Structure 1
Amino acid sequence: MSERVVPPAARRRRRPTKQGVVLSEELIVETALRLLKEHGSDALTVRRLGLALGADPSALYRYFRDTDELLLAIADELIGRTLRAWRPTGDWRADLRSLGLRMHADYLAHPQAAVLSACRVTGRLHEIRAVETMIGVLRGAGFPDAEAVRIYHAFVDQALAFAALDSAATALPAAAREADEAAWRSTYARLPAGTHPHIAATARHLVADMNLSAYPRALDMLLTAAAARLEEVTGPASRATRRPPRATG
């Protein structure tokens, strides 16, 4: 897409497309997500979107200035899906854990979109709500403001980094993905103890563990460190009134 812009008030198209649908931001984003999932990043072009929507490609400029603006809308929609499925309980540690796992799962459901958008800052409705929600959980737990921001930063970057990493692996061609997964058994598990004693000693654990996502474990480690930090910054005075964290399982 080029840098043509239609004022927001003039963006809505009321006439149906050739396929009998009325264009909207939501429909374009949903179609873009489907194309990315089915055909990869090359699908994110105005021409292919126009074909999929049964619309003249130029009509898309009524909604998005260019493909980068569309990508930000896609990123924000993924965040919105996480928030719509997440239910807080009031237990800060359990709430952040469930939110992180939900975010990770939603990105993995759209791996091509995740690879393209996980590093972006959208500044849009759902992202703003997510930032407000997560910082609110941390401040409500008793973290001072500066600590709340630091832990939020580590939490969200960890979730997005693992989402991008695991999505990139999921989006690999099947043959490449299978070869990567097989390498732990075909290469690492066969290294001799004489030359690689530590790999040989742990080979069965490497085979069992390395093809799984490390995100749930890394998330638990981060939350454990955050809980320890909360004890440090608030001291024993508040421990008597603060509910202990629910078991995360």
Structure 2
Amino acid sequence: MSDRVVPAADRRRRRPTKQGVVLSEELIVETALRLIEEHGSDALSVRRLGRALGADPSSLYRYFRHTDDLMLAIADELIGRTVRAWRPSGDWVADLRDIGLRMHAGALAHPRAAMLSAHRVTGRTHEIQAVENILGVLRRAGFPAAEAVRIYHAFVDQALAFGALDSAGTALPRAAREAETEVWRTTYGRLPADTHPHIAATARHLAATMRGSSYPAALDLLLDATRTRLGHIRAGTGR
């Protein structure tokens, strides 16, 4: 896509496509998400999208200026799927944990799209709402503004990083994933105690634990540290 764009007032397509559907931003984003999971970043071309939608590729410029504009819309939609499902409980630790786990699960549901979008800042509706929600949880818990932003940054980057990392693993062929998992048992599990005493002592736990994501454990460690930090702030000993 180039920077050609149609004014917002003229964007709605009034006639159905060849497949009998009316184009919309939502339909294009949903189709692009599906194609990314099937074909990776190569899916983001007007020709491929037009073919999948049964529409003239040039009609996509009525909705998105270029492929990066579409990529930001995809990233914002992934965020939106977390925002729309989340409801605060009033327990700030539980609420942050819920948001984090939802973000991580959302990435794993669309691993290729997550890898492409985790580092982007959209400035769009769903991202803005997510920022507002998380900062609201932190400020209502009692964190001063600067501290709330500091924790927000660490919290979101952790969730996005693990989402991208685990999505990359999910995107591997099944045989490759199983072979890498087996390394913990067949390679690390057989290292002798006289040369690798710490690995040998923990080999059973490594084989069991390294099969899955460490995000839930990392999230709990971050939340534990955040809870401790709030205690210092309330006691007047925070720096």
The TM-score with structure 2 as length reference comes to: 0.96
Shift of 1:46: 1.4
Give matches, 1:54-203, under 5 Å: 54-203=54-203
Structure 2: where are the runs of 5+ without partners?
none
Q: Indicate the residue corresponding to 1:246 in structure 2.
A: none
Partner SS, residue 119 of structure 1: coil
Q: Indicate the residue corresponding to 1:11 in structure 2.
A: 11
Structure 1 residue ranges, 4+ long, deviating more than 6 angstroms after superposition: none
C-alpha offsets along residues 16-40 of structure 1, whole Å, 9 cap, x if unaligned? 1000100000000001111112222
Range with greater deviation from structure 2 (42-51 or 94-103): 42-51
Amino acid at match of 1:181: T
C-alpha offsets along residues 200-231 of structure 1, whole Å, 9 cap, x if unaligned? 11100000001110011110110110011001
Q: Indicate the residue corresponding to 2:29 in structure 1.
A: 29
Q: Indicate the residue corresponding to 2:235 in structure 1.
A: 235
Shift of 1:195: 1.6
Return the alpha-carbon distance in structure 2 between the equivalents of residues 42 and 173 of structure 1: 18
Return the alpha-carbon distance in structure 2 between the equivalents of residues 169 and 186 of structure 1: 20
Q: Indicate the residue corresponding to 1:214 in structure 2.
A: 214
Shift of 1:5: 2.0
The TM-score with structure 1 as length reference comes to: 0.92
Shift of 1:41: 2.3
Q: Does 1:205 align with 2:205?
A: yes
Shift of 1:102: 0.8
Return the alpha-carbon distance in structure 1 between the equivalents of residues 198 and 47 of structure 2: 53
CA RMSD across the alignment: 1.3
Return the alpha-carbon distance in structure 2 between the equivalents of residues 229 and 114 of structure 1: 31
Return the alpha-carbon distance in structure 2 between the equivalents of residues 162 and 91 of structure 1: 24
Return the alpha-carbon distance in structure 1 between the equivalents of residues 105 and 18 of structure 2: 35
Q: Aligned residues: percent identity? A: 77
Amino acid at match of 2:78: L
Partner SS, residue 168 of structure 1: helix
Return the alpha-carbon distance in structure 2 between the equivalents of residues 200 and 3 of structure 1: 58
Return the alpha-carbon distance in structure 2 between the equivalents of residues 39 and 178 of structure 1: 22
Q: How many residues align?
A: 237
Partner SS, residue 40 of structure 1: helix
Structure 1: where are the runs of 5+ without partners?
237-249
Return the alpha-carbon distance in structure 1 between the equivalents of residues 179 and 8 of structure 2: 49
